[in-house]
Amino acid sequence: MSDYDLVIRGGTVVTAADTVRADVGIRAGKIVAVADKIEGGAKVIDASGLLVMPGGIDSHVHLAQPAFGGPKMADGFETGTRSAIAGGNTTVLPFALQPRGASLRASVTDYHREADGQSYCDYGFHLIISDPSPSVLGQELPALVGDGYTSFKVFMTYDDLVLNDRQLLEVFDCARGCGALVMVHCEGYDSIKFMTERLEAAGKTAPYYHAVSRPQVVEREATHRAISHGELIDVPIMIVHVSGREPMEQIRWAQQKGLKVYGETCTQYISLTADDLKGLNMDETGGKYVCSPPPRDHASWEAIWEGIRGGVFQTFSSDHCPFFYEGSEGKLNPKARTSFKWVPNGIPGVEVRLPILWSKGVGEGRITPNEFVALTSTNHAKIYGLYPEKGSIGVGFDADIVLWDPNRKETIRQELMHHGSDYTPFEGIAVTGWPVMTILRGAVVAEEGRILGTKADGKFLKRGLSPYAVPTGRTYL
C-alpha cells in the first residue's frame, strides 16, 4: 500500500512566502509531505509546467441571501460553490443575515439549511447584524462566536440593514469583548438618500446614476467614521470592498497611525468602471454592473494597485453577489426600470477573481506570485480564523490546492461560467493565467471547467478567533 493517496509531481509550489520546485504528498485529505522528489502514490497527478498553489479562499461572497433590493439571488450554495471551485477556490465565506426583529441564531440555522449538503467547497459564515438588540449583543453573539462564527458584518447604509452610530459602537464593543472581527460596509446612508432623491427629482433614474448617487466622498466619509468608532472602542475592523483612492487613503492613514484597520478590495475595482453602467435607457446593459460601492474609473484602478502593492489591502475578494439580468427576478425587473435605486445591487464574480487578479497583477508585473497567494488565500485564512488548516501548502494543511497554468490564455465569457446568473459583468476580458484543476482536501473536484466533485463535498468550517482581532490595548475608557 502506498504512503500517499495522491502525489502531485513535477510542479512548482507557490506559497505566500516561497516559490520552490517540489512534489506534494497527500494522505487522508492532508498534505503530509513537500519534497524535492516523492515516490509512490496511489494516484499521481503530473503538474509539470504548472504552479501548485493553495486553493483560493474567497472571504466575501453572498449566497442564498435575500437583500440589496434583489428579488432573488441567482446563486444558492449549489451553483455558487460550483462556480467557486471551477474558478480555483476551495473555501468560501458567505454571510448569514439577520433580518430585523429576527433571532440571529435562528437566521444562522436557516442558512445552514441552505448550505449543508449543498456545497461543492468548504464554507463558513460571517454574521450580518441588522438588529443589535440587547439579547443579540448580550447572549446570541457571544454564543455564536464560541460556535465558530467569529466575524460580523455591519452596514452604514441600506434601509433594512443600516446601523446608526450608537449601534455601530455597541456592535464594536461587543466584538471587542468576544474577540470577533468586524467587517464594515462604508457608505453613508443619509448622503446616498439625499443624492438619490435629488437625482430622481431631476429625472436621472437610469442605472448610471447609481454610481452618481454614491461618489467616493460618500465612501470616504463613512470609512473615516468607521475608523474613528473603531479607534474609540479599540476594536480592529476590516473595511470591505474598497473602491478607490479616497477610502484607500483613509485606511492607509489609520494604519500609519498604528490602528488595526484592515482593507479588502475586489475584482470589479481593478477591471470595471462607472462608464460600464452607462446605457441609453433602462433597456441597455448598465444594470448589469450595478454594485456597491460602484466601480469608479481608471485612476481609481491605479489607486487600488497602489494600495495592494503598499500593503493597505490584505485581502482581494469577489463580493460575489449574483442576480439575474433578464426576467421578472432580474436586474431589469419592472420596478428596477423605474429607478436605479431598485436595481438589484451586486454582481457575480467568484469564478473570475483569481484569473483577473493573476492576469492584471502578476501577468502585468504589479505583484509577485507570492503576493497573489497572500491576497487570494493565505491572508483570508489568517484573518478569518482558518489558519493553519487552510491557506498554504505545507505539512499539516488541508490538501486544498489549485493547479495553475500561468500561460493559459482565455477570454471570460458567460458560456465558461458555472454560476446561476445569466450573464457575467466581466464578459470579454482577456486573461493570461487560468485554474486547470481544483483539489479539495485531496480530491479532484474540478478540472478544465468540468465539475468532478459533488455538492456533498463541502464541509462547514467552525472558525477560530482571529489573531487580527486582538485590540491594540490603547483605550479611551
Closest listed residue to residue 103, CA positions, set 136, 77, 80: 136
Sequential DSSP letters for 145-207:
HHTT--EEEEESS-TTTB--HHHHHHHHHHHHHHTPEEEEE---HHHHHHHHHHHHHTT--ST
Half-sphere exposure of 17 (CA within 13 A, CB side): 4
SS (H, E, C) 287-342: HHHCCCCCCCCHHHHHHHHHHHHCCCCCEEECCECCCCCCCCCCCCCCCCCCCHHH
Nearer to Zn ion, 319 or 400 (CB): 319
Grouping H, G, I as helix, E, B as strand and the rest as coil, residue 120 is coil
Nearer to Zn ion, 119 or 268 (CB): 268
Q: Which three cell numbers stand for residue 26?
A: 497527500
Nearer to Zn ion, 150 or 292 (CB): 292
Q: Which three cell numbers stand for residue 75?
A: 446563486
Beta carbon of residue 321, minimum distance to ligand DUC (angstroms, whole number): 4
* Residue 345 binds which entry of Zn ion, ligand DUC, none, CB below 5-8 Å type-dependent: ligand DUC
- List contacts with ligand DUC (CB under 6 A): 62, 68, 185, 241, 291-292, 319, 321, 345-346
Nearer to Zn ion, 31 or 266 (CB): 266
Beta carbon of residue 256, minimum distance to ligand DUC (angstroms, whole number): 26
Closest listed residue to residue 406, CA positions, set 447, 364, 446, 378: 364
Count of positions on this chain that bind Zn ion (CB under 5 A): 2
Residue tagged 436595481 (cell numbers):
343
DSSP β-bridge partners for residue 316: 265
Beta carbon of residue 22, minimum distance to ligand DUC (angstroms, whole number): 37
Nearer to ligand DUC, 242 or 303 (CB): 242
Nearer to Zn ion, 164 or 454 (CB): 164
Amino acid at 363: G
Nearer to ligand DUC, 344 or 391 (CB): 344
Beta carbon of residue 292, minimum distance to ligand DUC (angstroms, whole number): 4
Beta carbon of residue 62, minimum distance to ligand DUC (angstroms, whole number): 6
* Residue 68 binds which entry of Zn ion, ligand DUC, none, CB below 5-8 Å type-dependent: ligand DUC
Query: Cα separation of 267 and 131, whole Å?
Result: 30
Nearer to ligand DUC, 68 or 120 (CB): 68
Task: Report whether 354 contacts 89 (CB < 8 A).
Answer: yes
Backbone angles phi, psi at 44, to 5 degrees: -125, 135
Residue tagged 460601492 (cell numbers):
293
Beta carbon of residue 410, minimum distance to ligand DUC (angstroms, whole number): 26
* 75 touches Zn ion by CB under 5 A: no
Q: What angle do CA 69, 75, 78 make, to 5 degrees?
A: 155
Beta carbon of residue 240, minimum distance to Zn ion (angstroms, whole number): 6
**Which of 85-93, 112-120, 184-192, 402-410 is the region at the interface with Zn ion (rule: CB under 5 A)?**
184-192
Beta carbon of residue 322, minimum distance to ligand DUC (angstroms, whole number): 10
* Residue 80 binds which entry of ligand DUC, Zn ion, none, CB below 5-8 Å type-dependent: none
* 185 touches Zn ion by CB under 5 A: yes
Helix ranges, 203-291 (H): 208-213, 216-233, 245-256
Query: Cα separation of 165 and 271, whole Å?
Result: 33
Nearer to Zn ion, 15 or 376 (CB): 376
Q: In the stretch 315-344, what mask flags binding to Zn ion with x, by CB under 5 A?
A: ----x-------------------------
Beta carbon of residue 24, minimum distance to Zn ion (angstroms, whole number): 33
CA-based torsion, 364, 391, 20, 39: positive or negative: negative
Binding site for Zn ion (CB under 5 A): 185, 319
